[in-house]
Amino acid sequence: MKVLVLGGGGREHALIWKLKQSPRVTQLFCAPGNAGIAHEGATCIPCDLNRLDSIIEAAVKAAPDLVVVGPEVPLMLGTVDELRRRGIPVFGPTQAAAQLESSKSFSKAFMTRHRIPTPLYVQVHAVSEIKSALANFSAPIVVKADGLAAGKGVIIANTREEAAEAAEALLGGSLGEAGRHVLFEEFLEGEEISFLVISDGERVAPLVAAQDHKRIGDGDTGPNTGGMGAYSINGLVDDNMREWLLRHIARPVIDGMAAEGAPYTGILYCGLMMTAKGPQVLEFNCRFGDPETQPILMRLDSDLLEAFEASIEGRISDGVFRWSPDPSICVVMATGGYPGPYLAGKPITGLERANALDGVRVFHAGTDLRDGQIVSAGGRVLGVTARATTLESAVARAYEAVRCISFDGMQYRSDIAHRRLKPR
Ligand code: AMP
Ligand code: GLY
């Protein structure tokens, strides 16, 4: 079976790595891919993921038996709808279903309609509406752009004035179309959990839960990023909580989307805040998370291809995944400057030594091959991932691998999984 994965980040490298283990996968393609994905033996096809015509061109070229969509932008562009029209089997939600991620106002109104727990919010469309909207909130206040903004669309404002300024900038076009509508949201405190499920439009099965580290700096300081590291361990969500989340969040979403005529197939990523009053949904993503996918797939002992097929063919059941009890962790190595402007083209050394460590996989994100040398080519460069019998040993192994690797200006957090480790 020929499989094409769309994307070129750490998440896609992990997907390719796992799909390669499936006995029925004969050939792998990735558009556009990266140096690590090519090293796995996948054929990389140049592709602009911001353009539907470029995506379709890549898919036609690969002529795959299955397409797996990694990132959100192709979903928002209607890749799944177009591939289905052409008779190409594809794993992921349609454009209408992907509104759960591509439009925060859609997603918030949907959650309100279906009584899914989420923080209070007010939507504004014009500067003149800001003042009265803010009267509903006390500081801190969360300001969100309505559309996709690659992690840059959320501002936590410490005062009403700061919230008003942030909203004005968004409405004034600081993030382009994404900020044409703005939401103010109640600020919640608690631990964030990434709870992912797979659905076939009717049934759902949970994946193991993970925790991301969004801020750039140790101790959760500095600006938000796409995610600087994640881990997955049994008990992060216990059996009772998993049942609760399926019953009050995941299943109501799938039932609600079906009832509204936009059945949801694919991965549904529930970004949760575990508050003192219970879990609340901060956001939905209509895809695997990055970097959560790297540690999650490290724990998957069953065939990923079969899970994708079960979703497409309407056969999702609890048995679709088999998980290892072993914890796993991914440490993201980023370029200096990230999440702001960064320098690319820096040679990376030590990858082989890191990969040779027991239980370690180095997934590539922003990397490129130049004159036979692997160089940095993006903000997030590598996801150094390890699985071991205890979280402590997985963490130690991942950081041992990180220390093997070197490139100019590299930065990484040294405290991934700190909430689950005893203070050193
Ligand atoms: P989102 O894209 O909506 O998930 O927001 C990005 C990040 O901003 C989240 O992962 C949280 O760390 C933070 N955030 C978003 N909404 C809230 C909220 N209502 N209260 C506290 N933090 C939030
Ligand atoms: N790690 C957060 C995301 O994938 O959106």
> Which residue puts its alpha carbon closest to atom 19 of ligand 1?
187
Q: Which of 29, 14, 39, 6 is nearest to 291 (CA)?
A: 14
Domain-by-domain residue ranges, the chain? 2-91, 120-186, 191-320, 328-420
Centroid of ligand 2 to alpha carbon of 213 (angstroms): 10
Which residues does ligand 2 sit against, CB inside 6 Å? 212, 227, 285, 289-290, 292
CATH of domain 328-420: 3.90.600.10
| SS3 assignment, position 354 | helix
Q: Are 267 and 286 in contact (CB under 8 A)?
A: yes
Which helix (H) or strand (E) element contains residue 186? strand 182-186
pLDDT of residue 304: 98
CA distance linking residue 283 with residue 75, whole number of Å: 16
Mean pLDDT estimate for the chain: 95
Q: What pLDDT is attached to residue 94?
A: 98
Cα–chain-centroid distance for residue 421?
A: 24
CATH of domain 191-320: 3.30.470.20
**Separation of alpha carbons 333 and 145, rounded Å:** 27
Of 285, 413, 416, the one to substitute when testing ligand 2's pocket (max ligand atoms within 8 A of C-beta) is 285
| Length in residues, the chain | 424
- Report whether CATH 1.10.150.110 matches the domain 2-91: no
Atom 3 (ligand 2) nearest CA: 289
Q: List the chain residues with pLDDT less than 70.
A: 151, 423-424
Considering every ligand atom, which ligand is closest to the CA of 140? 1
122 lines ligand 1 (CB under 6 A): no
For the CA atoms of 227, 388, 363, 155, the dihedral, rounded to the nearest 10 degrees, stands at 0
The closest-lying atom of ligand 1 relative to the alpha carbon of residue 187 is 20
Quick one: CATH architecture of 120-186? 2-Layer Sandwich (3.30)
Residues 6+ apart with CB under 8 A from 238: none
- Global confidence as pTM: 0.96
1 lines ligand 1 (CB under 6 A): no
pLDDT of residue 347: 97
